[in-house]
Chains A and B, each alone.
Chain A
Amino acid sequence: MPFGAVTIVGGSLAGLTAAQTLRGEGFDGTITVVEPELGDPYDRPPLSKEVLAGTWGPERVVLGAAKADLDLTWERGHHAVRLDLQDRSVQLGDGRRLPFETLVLATGATPRTLPGAAALGGVHVLRTLDDCLALRADLDAEPDRVVVVGAGFIGAEVAATCRGRGLPVTVLEAAPVPLERVLGAAMGAVCADLHRSHDVDLRLGVGVDHLVADDGGRVRAVALADGSVVEASVVVVGIGVAPRIDWLAGSGLTIDDGVVCDEHLRAAPGIVAVGDIVRWPSRRFGRSLRLEHWEHAVQSGEAAARTLLAEGGLIDRPLEAYDPVPWFWSDQYDRKIQLAGLSGPDDRVEVVIGDTAEHRFVALYGRDDRVVAVLGMNRPRHVMQLRALVAEGASFDEGLARARELA
C-alpha cells in the first residue's frame, strides 16, 4: 500500500541515513524523527578519537545527513517508551501517542556498565557527545592515572587517546588476550603488543571486583578479583554495548539481542530496523548477524528505506537481500586497524602481507576453506582490495595467491 508518512525512532547515523535515502528516492511525504537528544545529530567515531584528544571541537562532528535539507519534522527531547502494533502508535516519554503509518526503528545501542558506576564521580562510559565532553574535562585535569576497563575497540581507542595526551594508562581485560573472541588469540596478542609498545600497563585475565570511592564520592581505585587494587583518578568502562530495545518489550516484535528482521530488514509489515539494533539473516555467513559498525549503519539505513518504498509501491525495483561484507575500522595510536568480513576465534589465520612485529600487515581469516575476513593494520589499500575475496567466497588458497600478487 502506498503511504504518505514515515516515523523514524532514533535520529542518528542509521535513522538519518534512512531519511536521506527516502528523500533521495523522491519520497515527499512527512518524515517525523523522534530523538531524545536536543543538539545537532553527530557522528560517534570521533568521540573516542579527535574530540577526546582535544584536536576537534564538538562542532566538527555534525552528521552530513543533518546538514542536508531533508524537511524533517522533529520530535526532540523525548524517548519512545512503547510501541503499540494494534493501533500503530509510538508512545513518548511525556505520555503522548504518535500514530505512525510506516516505522523505522533506529535506537542504536547503549553502553554496559559496572554496578555502582553511575553514582561515582570520575567513572565514565562513552557513547554520546555529552559522555565524551565529560570524560574530556576529566582528562584536561591531568589525572594521575586513567584506568580503562575492557580492551575492546572502544577501550583500546580511549587508552590510545589518553596515551596521546601523555596520561598514564592501565587497561584491565578479563580475557587472557584482548579481542580474542573477535580476532582470535594470535591477532589479539598483536593488539596487546601494540598497547604495551605505547607504555600502557595492560593487565589481562583479571576481572574487576568493585570500584573504590573516596570520601567525596569520587572513584579512587579499582579492586580486582585477585585481591589487588589499581589506583585510579579516572575510570572508563568499555565493556561493550547492548541494543536499545527496552522500549520494544511486549510490542509483539521478535526480540533477540536486537530486533529480529528478515533479509530486507523488515521487522513487520511497514516496520524496518536499522543500525546497531537490527538482527538479520546473512546468507553469506549462514547465520543471523547484528553489527555495531559505522558503515553498516549507513548501508542498512539505505537498504531499509528502499524496503519501505518498495513495499509501498513507491519504487519499482527488485530488492536485493541485505548482505554486505561487514567493514569496520579503529584508529589506535598511529595505527589504522581495519577488519572486513566476519572473523572468529577458531578461524585459520595467516599473515599474508607485511609483518605483525612492525604493526603493519594484512592477515586472512579462513573457515571451511573459504576466506571469511581480512584484517589489516596500516594497510588500508590491501584490506579494500582483499575484501573482494570475502564477497566472492574465494577459497583460502585463492586468497593466498591473490594476496601474494599484491604484496
Chain B
Amino acid sequence: MRVVVDFDLCESNAVCMGIAPEVFEVRDDDFLYVLDETPSEDLRPKVEEAVRRCPKQAISIED
C-alpha cells in the first residue's frame, strides 16, 4: 500500500494525524508530513478511515 497526499488540496487540519499518527503528522510549521509512505498492511484500516474522513479528499491509497 502506498499513501499519496495531494498537497494542493490538503489544508493541514490534522484529521488524518488524529486517526493514524504513525503515518501522518502535522508539524509546528502547519504543514502535513507523511511519515511513512508505504505503511504496513495492519495500518490499512486506519489509513482507509483517514481517506474517508479527510474533509478535502486529499488522501488516496495506491495498491
Q: How near does chain A come to B13, taking the closest CB pair, in angstroms?
A: 5
A406 to B25, CA, bound (A): 14
Q: Is A380 engaged at the interface, CB distance under 8 Å to the other chain?
A: yes
In the bound assembly, the distance between CA atoms of A378 and B12 in angstroms comes to 10
Instruction: Contacts A329-B13, A336-B11, A336-B13 given; indicate if A384 touches B18 (C-beta within 8 A).
Output: yes
Kindly identify, within residues 325 to 382 of chain A, every residue whose CB is under 8 Å from any CB belonging to chain B: 327, 329, 331, 336, 338, 378, 380-381
Report the bound CA distance from A20 to B49 in whole Å: 13
With A380-B26, A381-B27, A387-B18 known as contacts, the answer to whether A295 contacts B13 (CB < 8 A) is no
The answer to the question of B5 belonging to the interface, with a C-beta cut-off of 8 Å to chain A, is: no
Q: Is A152 an interface position by the 8 A CB rule?
A: no
Given contacts A380-B30, A381-B28, contact A45 B55 (CB under 8 A): yes
The reply to whether A384 and B17 contact each other, CB–CB distance below 8 Å, is yes
Confirm or deny: A294 has a beta carbon within 8 angstroms of a beta carbon on chain B.
yes
Q: Quick one: which of B14, B52, B53 contacts A381, CB cutoff 8 A?
A: B14
Please, which residues of chain A bring their CB within 8 A of the CB of B12?
336, 380
Is the CB of A298 closer than 8 A to any CB of chain B? yes
Give the total of B residues in contact with A, Cβ under 8 Å. 16
Of the candidates B26, B27, B28, B30, the one whose C-beta lies within 8 Å of that of A384 is: B26
Q: Taking the complex as formed, is A95 at the interface, i.e. its CB lies under 8 A from any CB of chain B? A: no
CB distance from B5 to the nearest CB of A (A): 15
Known pairs A298-B52, A378-B30; A384 contacts B15 (CB<8 A): yes
Which residues of chain B come closer than 8 Å to A299, judged between CB atoms?
A: 53
Residues of B within 8 A of A381 (CB): 14, 17, 25-28, 30
- Taking the complex as formed, is A383 at the interface, i.e. its CB lies under 8 A from any CB of chain B? yes
- What residues of B have a CB within 8 angstroms of the CB of A384 in the complex? 14-15, 17-18, 26
With A380-B26, A384-B17 in contact, is A64–B57 under 8 Å at CB? yes
Q: Which residue of A lies closest to B51 (CB)?
A: A64
Is the CB–CB distance between A294 and B57 below 8 Å?
no
Interface string of B19-61 (1 = CB under 8 A from A): 0000001111010000000000000000000001101010000
A378: B residues at CB distance < 8 A: 30
**A380:B13 contact, CB within 8 angstroms:** yes
CB-nearest residue of chain A to B54: A64
- List, in ascending order, chain B residues with CB within 8 A of A329's CB: 13, 55
Min distance, Cβ B60 to any Cβ of chain A, angstroms: 10
Interface string of A380-395 (1 = CB under 8 A from B): 1101100100000000
Task: Note all chain B residues with C-beta closer than 8 A to A331.
Answer: 11
CA separation between A286 and B34, bound complex, in Å? Answer: 37
Cβ–Cβ < 8 Å partners of B26 in chain A: 380-381, 384
Q: Which residues of A contact B30 (CB under 8 A)?
A: 378, 380-381
What sequence of 0s and 1s flags, for each residue 280-315 of chain A, a beta carbon within 8 Å of any chain B beta carbon?
000000000000001100110010000000000000
- In this complex, which of A45, A294, A329 has the most chain B Cβ atoms within 10 angstroms of its Cβ? A329
Residue of A nearest to B17 (CB): A384
Report A-chain residues with C-beta under 8 Å of the C-beta of B14: 380-381, 383-384
State which of A17, A295, A302, A387 has its C-beta within 8 Å of the C-beta of B55. Answer: A295
| A379 and chain B: residue at smallest CB distance | B30
- Taking the closest CB of chain B, its distance from the CB of A306, in whole angstroms, is 13
Whether A298 contacts B53 by the Cβ 8 Å rule is yes
Give bound CA distance, A262 to B26, whole Å: 36
Interface residues of B (CB under 8 A from A): 11-15, 17-18, 25-28, 30, 52-53, 55, 57
**7 closest Cβ contacts across the A-B interface?**
A384-B14, A384-B18, A380-B14, A381-B26, A64-B57, A380-B13, A381-B14
10 of the cross-chain contacts (CB-CB < 8 Å) are A329-B13, A329-B55, A336-B12, A380-B13, A380-B14, A381-B14, A381-B27, A381-B28, A383-B14, A384-B15
